[in-house]
Chain A
């Protein structure tokens, strides 16, 4: 962090330093200063950076927070809950469907009254998927029982993160707190920010971690946490919660005033801009309110009494203050970045209306507009239009259209999407050049494939023009696998790079039918699709070719968060293929570690520094986990061994059609995040195989066969000959990291020897 001494400033009591940072950086900064005990997290855009910055700071020794990379947001919420119930100080950050995935845990945390702080970096909820910012995730938080602070700027993100913990732990509150700020607009925009120079001052402000509650922490005082209740007790519990929530509103004011004395920045319950005499006003949450203030200045210059109301806290909802602020307002437009479909206005519209309803003299006309969904920008001209609508209502004395969307366009009928190519199906993907048959004697499949040259006559399943990075390994790997499959495929892509780069609306790079679902659930989804096809076919309602093959495509991230779904699918034995492209990290969200990241490898959440050296534990052996479900066919493959991979594609198709579930893992390069040269993709794969890090093998009906043995071919190379190609592993070749490299080498050797034993013994 670039800090210059002359920028040191003193305002309030605490000495402060100016810096130039984003909202995510400031959330991480506040957490590091507080020095929380635990952060359980799972990456999701745009909140991911919070964990990344904390990891970076941790590598530099700047805090001691134990950062726990969960298997998904549900897992992260579990980690946080368990730690909070133990009396630790707990922190988390998430967004959008990550928040929804942990949603069921939110009321558990609130209802059992264990404080923690979570940053909700607001983003639109799927589907369709959109990674940019709106408030649709935040609106799901409204009923969870968490206190919710809203932070408009990176400065407010920092300040509120410090206030949040103090509010959460306050004896009158004892509730978890969300700090919500706008994804990208606030999370990623860098601004000048001031922060308290000495973390001890921050720690003194938040105070000692309370120990006098009934936590799990003291085994001399055993407790039961989470007993179940019936209505009589449950209602009383919730009354306590409700009271605590209203108390949080009062405590917010106290803490805010105290913080103002310390830091010189004060956050009122409402953020009112020129509302004293305003006749028309906009109510907007977070960053959009800031843009609208500029427009207020312009309107005021023209003599229009305009103002903006925004909040710094929305749970509890500041009804009294709103009522007060709207006393003389003639027309109010509530702009919301989310909808409550069918409710004749989103949530806050109704909360505004109900706030003023209690003032019998209030005459304010309320308009409600849904705007800026999915990160659609909010320009000054949009605020002008909002004011124009409010002014019109004021002049007319009523709202012509109380509720509407804003910014939607009908579209030009001439530009309707038309097919570009003839539909590609069936025979288009049949070469007749691939023979697959069961060898009765060995009880194994025999596959004959022609030279690769002949197979160039087969069209690719994925179209050119996709948006992957130059040198991306995904598509070479997928297409080689698809080459082995004859006839139709139905594919499901779980969220990940392969999905994102092939389906950027209104463009698709898929020739055959593709379904997307979120990556914790693709295997289950395709199970449903497959069974529906079969059932519709059985009843004679559709025709499906005999060889239609169902393939679920996932990254290694999808096999972390979606492991349960994948294992469930395998155990049920649906006749489909799960194909994992493993690039050793969550590359779509910016290279966070996955469980498949090997030991010592650098990612954005396994930084290299004085206190840590890359990933701390070994890579997940997903192929062996899936083999343990006893499905008929499991394989590994790589683009560097094309014939091997094509044959495995053919076998996978046969088993998926005739027996049951298939799982395959192909290792692929990610030049961007492996920090390797684009051109060496295949060379790096070959080295990964020849170093025995990634052995090529298959488990057919429970029997393991190594399909390419680098030792037998005299091609085995040391692990370091693979690692030397990648910037993410260069440090492992240094003398000082020899112990980590050795540990990694030992693990690779151990797994290789086990595999050889399995290869040699059909009963293993």
Chain B
């Protein structure tokens, strides 16, 4: 008797985790896979999207499970998963996180918001949505988001044994960091217990979310030979706000003395300056604001600020858009404004 609830034509039950580098989705995927393979005797594989992506960039982790006697030959990325875990809510601005989800699949989202809002944002017509506030659990327990997400994923993958995972947590920490054992077990248990489900009925004959293998922007007729680029500085078109992990700097202009200490330390060139005149009529530069499109939330500027014009803010959806001051780049005429 199979313990796997669902299988595709090759016999795989597939999970895809969508995250940004630094949240531990890779490790969560590995632990999930190990729990199936080493504790339950399933066959399985686990891997991540690979590249030079740094912390804060979108990453994926994949888990395949199958019966012990099924040989795993497929090593390509999972395109039509049964379960998707979204570790970082802001990701779905830039990544189609639910691409290819099975019609009766489950999406788990780390969020404080309610079901209907997320369902709308994900363009999810039907299927099961699971929500867990992993960040709050992690902040309260002084642990990491991925452990809380793992708890929720174990609840979703009912065939896995949560006690085996607790043992792995114990083994991981007890020797070197015994004081981490209890908070991590609590984080896992809370993720397991606090995840909420809502199923939007799947109509008869419903199909899964479609998926498209993205084509490269350029091809052999449109790529300059040698890969040389002339579109200098076109990375300004990118939106990096998804790299923030819940916090951003808040600027209170009235407290600002325009010393440029923030500008000096900012790795992402987010501070927007404008020429003007000071009270005595002398030409001076003035800090106009922050371009949150590029801010990755490192908060170095808050540390550098000699006044309290800059402070930490737990990011609420919409704040960055409402308070963004755009960088004034010398766009080509007729280009992007």
Contact = CB atoms under 8 A, between A and B. Distances in A.
Contact of B297 (A4, A412, A462, A470): A470
Contact of A506 (B54, B72, B217, B275): B217
B316 interface: no
B143 interface: no
Contact of A468 (B54, B222, B329): B54
Contact of A453 (B217, B229, B235, B258): B258
A572 B218 CA distance: 41
B52 interface: yes
Nearest to B43: A192
Given A190-B46, A410-B222, A470 B332 contact: no
A419 B74 contact: no
B216 A409 contact: yes
Interface of B: 10, 21-22, 30, 33-34, 37-39, 41, 43-48, 50-57, 72-77, 168, 171, 213, 215-224, 226-227, 229-238, 240, 243-245, 258-261, 263-271, 273, 275, 284-285, 287, 291, 293-294, 296-300, 302-304, 327, 329-332, 335-336
Given A452-B261, A470-B297, A475-B267, A420 B50 contact: no
Contacts of A190: 30, 33, 45-47
A454 interface: yes
A504 interface: yes
A421 interface: yes
A392 interface: no
Contacts of B10: 294
A413 B45 contact: no
A679 B302 contact: yes
23 contacts: A4-B38, A20-B44, A20-B46, A191-B44, A191-B72, A408-B220, A411-B218, A412-B219, A417-B231, A417-B234, A419-B230, A421-B332, A422-B332, A452-B261, A452-B263, A457-B273, A467-B240, A469-B54, A469-B56, A476-B266, A502-B235, A508-B232, A682-B265
Contacts of A293: 73
Given A411-B221, A416-B218, A509-B233, A453 B265 contact: no
B29 to A, nearest CB: 9
Nearest to A191: B45
B303 A465 contact: no
A413 B222 contact: yes
A725 to B, nearest CB: 12
| For the complex of A and B, 9 pairs with smallest distance between CB atoms | A411-B219, A465-B235, A411-B222, A471-B298, A470-B296, A463-B233, A290-B73, A469-B55, A678-B298
Given A2-B168, A189-B45, A416-B222, A504 B52 contact: yes
Nearest to A512: B232
Contacts of B260: 451-453, 455-456
A387 interface: no
Contact of A452 (B75, B168, B264, B268): B264
Q: Which of A192, A457, A480 has the most CB of B within 10 A?
A: A192
A193 B75 CA distance: 15
A53 to B, nearest CB: 14
Given A191-B45, A463-B329, A469-B55, 7 more contacts: A418-B335, A421-B332, A465-B294, A471-B298, A471-B299, A476-B266, A678-B298
Given A291-B73, A411-B220, A421 B268 contact: no
B234 A464 contact: no
A242 interface: no
Given A424-B330, A464-B268, A456 B300 contact: no
Contact of A294 (B43, B74, B224, B287): B74
A480 B224 CA distance: 33
A445 interface: no
Given A469-B54, A502-B235, A678 B215 contact: no
B232 A470 contact: no
Contact of B37 (A20, A506, A671): A20
Nearest to A413: B222
A471 B46 contact: no
A471 B268 CA distance: 9
Contact of B259 (A192, A453, A508): A453
A420 B264 contact: no
B220 A291 contact: no
Interface string A157-193: 0000000000000000000000000001110111110
Contacts of A184: 47, 50
A293 B74 CA distance: 9
Contacts of B297: 470, 678
A128 B224 CA distance: 12
Contacts of B287: 456
Contacts of B298: 470-471, 671, 678-679, 681
A66 to B, nearest CB: 26
Nearest to B168: A2
Given A188-B48, A419-B335, A410 B269 contact: no
B222 A412 contact: yes
A706 interface: no
A19 interface: yes
Nearest to A381: B213
Contacts of B302: 679
Interface stretch (A27-35, A141-149, A372-380, A738-746): A372-380
B236 A421 contact: yes
Q: Which of B54, B56, B245, B297 has the most CB of A within 10 A?
A: B54
Given A408-B220, A420-B336, A468-B267, A375 B236 contact: no
A380 B41 CA distance: 26
A21 to B, nearest CB: 10
A10 interface: no
B77 A411 contact: no
B320 to A, nearest CB: 14
Contacts of B227: 127-128, 505
Given A410-B222, A468-B54, A470-B297, A480 B270 contact: no
A421 B30 contact: no
A512 B230 CA distance: 10
Given A418-B231, A472-B267, A681-B298, A672 B22 contact: yes
A671 B237 CA distance: 26
Contact of B52 (A131, A410, A452, A507): A131
A410 B216 CA distance: 10
Given A20-B44, A475-B269, A500 B234 contact: no
Interface in A429-480: 451-457, 460, 462-476, 479-480
A189 B46 CA distance: 6
B278 to A, nearest CB: 10
Given A20-B44, A191-B72, A409-B215, A683 B303 contact: yes
A197 interface: no
Contacts of A409: 215-216, 219-220
A420 B223 contact: no
B332 A456 contact: no
Contact of B74 (A291, A456, A464, A679): A291
A432 B72 CA distance: 65
Nearest to B270: A464
A82 interface: no
Contacts of A629: none
